[in-house]
Structure 1
Amino acid sequence: MAGQGLGAGLAAAVVVLAGPVPAALAHGEDRPPGPRVVADELDNPRQLNWDQDGNLVVAEAGRGGTECVDARCAGPTGAVTLIEDPHRDAPTVSRVVEGLLSVASPDGVFAEGPGGADATDVEGQYIVAGYDPDRIDLSVFTARGGSMLVAGTEEDGEEYLLPYADLQAAEEELNPDGAQIDSNPYAVLYVDEDDEASPDGYALVADAGANAVWKVEPDFSTATEDSPPEYEITAWAAWPTTALPDGTDDPAGPAEFVPTSLTADKHGNVYVGGLGSDRPGEASVVQFTADGTELQRWDGFTAVTGVAVDRGHLYVSQLFGPTPPLPPGETPAEEAPPAADEAPGQVVVLHRHEEDAVRYAIDVPFPAGLAADRHGNVYASVNSVATAEGIAEGPENPAGVAVDGGAVWELDFSDAYRLVTPEPETSEE
């Protein structure tokens, strides 16, 4: 991802039309309207996933630390949080992995760190996508040392943290987009191919820096207390670079895909969301088969940072929304920011089995990870660029408005509005 970062604020045009959202997406009558806070006081919450018991796994990118070079500060503040029974009014929230490397501004906002986490089929075991503290260079933005770790707790209560895969090394060797060497993993998806409880499944990881989705196949039978498992890593999907020689995005060319998010449906199809170089209307979601064959594509989003599916719907986080759906390559002629006192962000929903499906949206502040269950509940990590305390207004505030602390919400689509593609302008002869 050439020169891209989540700190670049964007605004885009939106056209709305009152219209009923599908009934299946509205809150039940036993809950008050509006979103429900499931967990709060989170530091830069990002990807959401489900464990084998139906609990939510939350990747927290952390809040940086005290080791600073210019405006980049690092520290062991990244974490993985588990939300047990998130559908209940008072779910249990606990950090199950702590001490992961995080890099942020001195005030801890817009952090980079553990962007993705997923549970394996081994009880209490998690795969985390983040950075290698031995390979990061705070003075060089692209020297992040992308890596994957496996973390968990033994039966005797002893915690472990093992190397899983060196994504930076794979990027240096394979460089699938042919651009600058940069590994910046955002999301991870564990795939179990059998019914046995073992850590020998494989993982997919969306690497925004490499502009690829890696497939990591480890062999834990080779691991010992002193050495990590052997593994094979391949580019499961990759997108070409559109960057200029200096590494910046070429505004005259097509936007880079920049994968940031992953989810799968019950048939094993994988959905990949892309940031689209942060350009309004140029982000996409692509559906693949389990072996990486492209099946379907939805275009016209803005800065996709989360995807989820249920039996009929596709849910998409737009970090810097709103924007109407647009054909590929087209950008709104007039960009209009959200209200001056509101943080940007939308979650969009559509029927994924319908051609040219109508899109509905709700406003959600800086959304990232999404997760949907079989009961129609949809969860989102919100204020995903903020620490637990939030972001105060001020000249140094990259968001431009006050932002509450990082949290996970259960969403309510009762008041969703319909997104409409603007009619093309006509000129008089």
Structure 2
Amino acid sequence: MLKKSLTIAAGSALMLLAIAETSLAVTFQVIADNLDSPRGLTFGPDGALYVTEAGRGGTGPCIPAPGGGTDVVCYGATGAITRIQNNTVQRITTGLPSIALPFEPLNITIDATGIHDLQFDSSGKAYAIFGLGSSPEQRDQVLNISEFGQLVALDNLNSQVSLTPLADLAEYEALFNPDDIGSGFFNPYNNGIDSNPYAFLIQGDTAYIVDAAGNDFFAAKLDGSELNLLSILPERTVIDPLTGNTIALQSVPTSVTIGPDGAFYIAEFTGFPYPENQARIFRIDSNNQVEIYAEGFTQIIDLAFDAQGGLYVLEFASKSLFSEFSLGDLIYIDPNGNRTSILSDVLNTPTALEIAPNGDIYISNQGYVPGQGQVLRVSVNEAPSTPESTPLWGLLSIGILGSISQLLPLKKKKRNLKYLDIIILK
């Protein structure tokens, strides 16, 4: 893992943020790289930045990959937690559960699922969620790794970490399948049993968790005593570009944060066919009533409010991934509702953002090919710079990787043979 800083003259990669008629340049610095599928970012009680690494899977056992077909994802104890503190990058916890999709043409794995997010309670104790992208039956009978699809407590953050399962979201999905509510529109996948916890936060003695595959929002007590469904994120209808049929568009929630008003705000990615400008941000009040706070985004992967009450919105992609590959975008909604693109054309499969007390923004970048992951530090009102070039999509641009199919998170997927088999959130 290297610390790098690259500075270039202002050009197409530099975006200007206009606030109070002042143009603010953006500075980017790569503060960590060579990460294995970075996902969540959080500051610990020691002031360090912690990065969850979903890993690179392994040699097996293997279970069917989401979306049908013959693809499989295979297990390996390759997940990790990395700490960034005082200009030092250290992988402090290793050997965590991970599954990933083998990509034989390049002899690599892609799209790992494992530890997705890490948070600390008020006493400094650490908790994490592990994704799954499948059913608890596959987890229990084939993988035989109980942590997938669960909220867990970590007894420490070192190589001897012990994981204690607290809340089994995957089992809840199997028992109740909350989002299978029958929209009345054709859904070729019937909202089957599929759970993929992706992000959470802690407030008091409770963890609040979004399940990207289950399309729902939960509260779980940190002592493991309760798991309660709070909200189901609503489906909509959309025209299937392959068939022309009206189908159900799944929500795919990917982030939860608390706003200045104390309400929960949840990001929406949207499922197949990943329509442009159709992703929304939901506000959920104390009565668990869901309303739309903002809309018109594309494939949102994370949210964070700043100290002024403005909201940063991180898009995994700024165009529909059904028809073409797209870089991500960082968008700022100021307290008056005005939107500005802060950072575009330099984010490649970004997966999370976090705001430091001094206002710097941290972004997990290049999240889906193990070994290529980065953490970027983004500052405003300084000299412009840009992160290093992207090796994977450079290969794509000259056709080495061939076709891409299944590029996105949804509970169940349709094939689009124009694309490489990268399954993102499942």
Q: TM-score, normalised by structure 1?
A: 0.68
Q: Per the alignment, in what secondary structure is the counterpart of residue 374 of structure 1?
A: coil
Distance in structure 2 (CA, Å) of the matches to 1:376 and 1:252: 44
Aligned to 2:392: none
One-letter amino acid of the counterpart of residue 174, structure 1: F
Aligned to 1:212: 216
* Deviation sequence 1:122-152 (CA, Å, 0-9, x none): 3352323334998428999xx9952221113
RMSD (Å) for aligned C-alpha atoms: 3.8
Q: Per the alignment, in what secondary structure is the counterpart of residue 115 of structure 1?
A: strand
Q: Do the aligned partners of residues 51 and 25 (structure 1) sit closer, same or farther apart at CA in structure 2, a change above 3 Å counting?
A: farther
Q: Does 1:170 align with 2:167?
A: no
Alignment of 1:188-337 (within 5 A): 188-192=200-204, 201-219=205-223, 229=224, 231-241=225-235, 252-253=246-247, 255-265=249-259, 268-277=262-271, 278-289=274-285, 292-294=288-290, 297-311=293-307, 312-322=309-319
One-letter amino acid of the counterpart of residue 263, structure 1: T
Distance in structure 2 (CA, Å) of the matches to 1:346 and 1:316: 8
Distance in structure 2 (CA, Å) of the matches to 1:115 and 1:287: 23
Distance in structure 2 (CA, Å) of the matches to 1:159 and 1:249: 49
Q: Per the alignment, in what secondary structure is the counterpart of residue 136 of structure 1?
A: helix
Q: What's the CA shift for 1:251?
A: 6.5
CA contact (8 A) 1:76 1:101 kept: yes
Q: Per the alignment, in what secondary structure is the counterpart of residue 246 of structure 2?
A: coil
Q: What's the CA shift for 1:94?
A: 3.1
Alignment of 1:26-175 (within 5 A): 26=24, 34-67=27-60, 68=62, 70-84=71-85, 90-96=87-93, 98-106=95-103, 107-123=108-124, 125-131=126-132, 135-136=138-139, 146-153=149-156, 159-175=161-177
Distance in structure 1 (CA, Å) of the matches to 2:244 and 2:116: 26
CA contact (8 A) 2:84 2:90 kept: yes
Distance in structure 2 (CA, Å) of the matches to 1:25 and 1:408: 25
Q: What's the CA shift for 1:385?
A: 1.2
Runs (5+) with no aligned partner, structure 1: 1-15, 28-32, 193-200, 220-228, 324-330, 389-404, 417-429
One-letter amino acid of the counterpart of residue 283, structure 1: A
Q: Do the aligned partners of residues 17 and 254 (structure 1) sit closer, same or farther apart at CA in structure 2, a change above 3 Å counting?
A: farther
Distance in structure 2 (CA, Å) of the matches to 1:252 and 1:292: 29
Q: Does 1:367 align with 2:368?
A: no
Q: Do the aligned partners of residues 37 and 17 (structure 1) sit closer, same or farther apart at CA in structure 2, a change above 3 Å counting?
A: closer
Aligned to 2:332: 349
Q: What's the CA shift for 1:105?
A: 2.7
CA contact (8 A) 1:105 1:111 kept: no
Distance in structure 2 (CA, Å) of the matches to 1:75 and 1:243: 38
Q: Do the aligned partners of residues 301 and 126 (structure 1) sit closer, same or farther apart at CA in structure 2, a change above 3 Å counting?
A: same
Q: Per the alignment, in what secondary structure is the counterpart of residue 315 of structure 1?
A: strand
One-letter amino acid of the counterpart of residue 216, structure 1: A
Q: 2:192 aligns with which of 177, 180, 189?
A: 180
* Deviation sequence 1:186-244 (CA, Å, 0-9, x none): 1121222xxxxxxxx1111110111001111243xxxxxxxxx4x21111221244589
Q: Per the alignment, in what secondary structure is the counterpart of residue 333 of structure 2?
A: strand
Distance in structure 1 (CA, Å) of the matches to 2:43 and 2:23: 20
One-letter amino acid of the counterpart of residue 151, structure 2: M
Distance in structure 2 (CA, Å) of the matches to 1:270 and 1:254: 25
Aligned to 1:408: 375
Distance in structure 2 (CA, Å) of the matches to 1:260 and 1:271: 11
Q: What's the CA shift for 1:372?
A: 1.0
Aligned to 1:391: none
Q: Do the aligned partners of residues 83 and 19 (structure 1) sit closer, same or farther apart at CA in structure 2, a change above 3 Å counting?
A: closer
Q: What's the CA shift for 1:83?
A: 2.3
Q: Identify which range, 90-99 or 39-48, moves more after superposition.
A: 90-99
CA contact (8 A) 1:42 1:60 kept: yes
One-letter amino acid of the counterpart of residue 204, structure 1: Y
CA contact (8 A) 1:35 1:410 kept: yes
* Deviation sequence 1:31-83 (CA, Å, 0-9, x none): xx631112212111112222233332322111111114654222111222222
CA contact (8 A) 2:37 2:111 kept: yes
Distance in structure 2 (CA, Å) of the matches to 1:54 and 1:26: 27
Q: Per the alignment, in what secondary structure is the counterpart of residue 109 of structure 2?
A: coil
Distance in structure 2 (CA, Å) of the matches to 1:290 and 1:51: 27
CA contact (8 A) 1:317 1:348 kept: yes
Distance in structure 2 (CA, Å) of the matches to 1:75 and 1:25: 48
Q: What's the CA shift for 1:119?
A: 1.9
Aligned to 1:22: 19
CA contact (8 A) 2:318 2:329 kept: yes
Q: Per the alignment, in what secondary structure is the counterpart of residue 280 of structure 2?
A: strand
Q: Per the alignment, in what secondary structure is the counterpart of residue 306 of structure 1?
A: strand
Q: TM-score, normalised by structure 2?
A: 0.68
CA contact (8 A) 1:78 1:100 kept: yes
CA contact (8 A) 1:129 1:205 kept: no
Q: What's the CA shift for 1:25?
A: 9.3
Identity %: 26
Q: What's the CA shift for 1:249?
A: 11
